[in-house]
Amino acid sequence: MNKYQNPFYVSDLDGTLLRSNATLSSYSKKILQQLLHEGLHFTVASARSVFSMWPILDGLRLSLPVIEFNGAFISDLETGKHIVTNSIDSLVARKIYQLILGCGHLPFISTFNGTTDRLYYSRITNMGMQWYFENRQQNQDKRLRKTRDLAETLAEEIMCFTIIDSSESLYDLKSILKKEYNHLVEIHFQENLYSPSWYWLTIHDHKATKDKAISWIRTENGLVKNELVVFGDHTNDIKMFQIADRRIAVKNAIIELKQQATHIIESNQSDGVVKYIENDWTNGE
């Protein structure tokens, strides 16, 4: 145990905890398993769904909930059960859907109907969408559903719109969303690390943020007084950096995040996050 009062560690996944091939190294998994057994307070906050976390984090017994879709869901990793859901307002979702179509795009739509998660699509129109579709198929994602009419899915709780295209093609849609809906939804825009040159524009409810989700977990699990240590690499980690006691950016993080960091550690490819946690847990800073 280190000199801190058992810190609460929260790590992003892609580009941070995971290596560049989207895997958790055997070293990181082994150390995390050991430290979790010893009482480490640790969880992950990711743009991923719990379904895409399962094959990556298999073998880790997290006692704390995980944060999915950047905070749209707070869920139990083992069962996939959602503890907290933050869906987009129904009327807002319908307006945004029409805007997406009007800008010439077809989204993937992630929904929840109270019991079941779904990931809907109608047509694949570019190689960036094809990569995502094949990735979900390869991981046997049971949410995946093809539908003739995406509008019918809007009757369910809309957790996330995912629009995939080139940066240039998404510019107009992104600009309109930020101008007209910025106070109602969270908008994230970044290149797919595993499919370069294809960009993802994701849209969540305004309550779906990592900082809000972390605050809920701290309150519900008696961790408010524990030091908060967060790890990240990109823009969707900025808000959780703003509430943390220690803000730790990996070496490969974007400059904007590094400027807000209290520490910069080794890259994701070098297991920087788990090396830091192991040293911190054992020796303190």
Q: What is the pLDDT of residues 22-49, one digit of tens each?
A: 999 999 999 999 999 999 999 999 999 9
Q: What are phi and psi of 66, to 5 degrees?
A: -105, 160
Per-residue pLDDT at 65 exceeds 70: yes
Read off the CATH number of the domain in which 75 is found: 3.40.50.1000
- Under the banding of pLDDT at 50, 70 and 90, the label for residue 1 is very low
What's residue 283's pLDDT?
83
Buried/exposed 237-248: b ≥16 CB within 10 Å, e otherwise: bbbbbeebebbb
Domain boundary among 205, 228, 243: 205
The DSSP output letter for 61 is -
- Per-residue pLDDT reduced to its tens digit, 176-223: 999 999 999 999 999 999 999 999 999 999 999 999 999 999 999 999
Domain of residue 133, CATH code: 3.30.1240.10
How many structural domains is the chain composed of?
A: 2
CA distance 267 to 251: 4
Backbone angles phi, psi at 139, to 5 degrees: -90, 10
Q: List residues bridging with 111 in a β-sheet.
A: 118, 158
Q: Does 60 share its domain with 101?
A: no
Name the domain boundary from 154, 184, 205.
Answer: 205
- The domain of 130 spans 90-205
Length of the chain: 285
278 in the same domain as 213: yes
Structure-token match 């307006």, residue found: 95
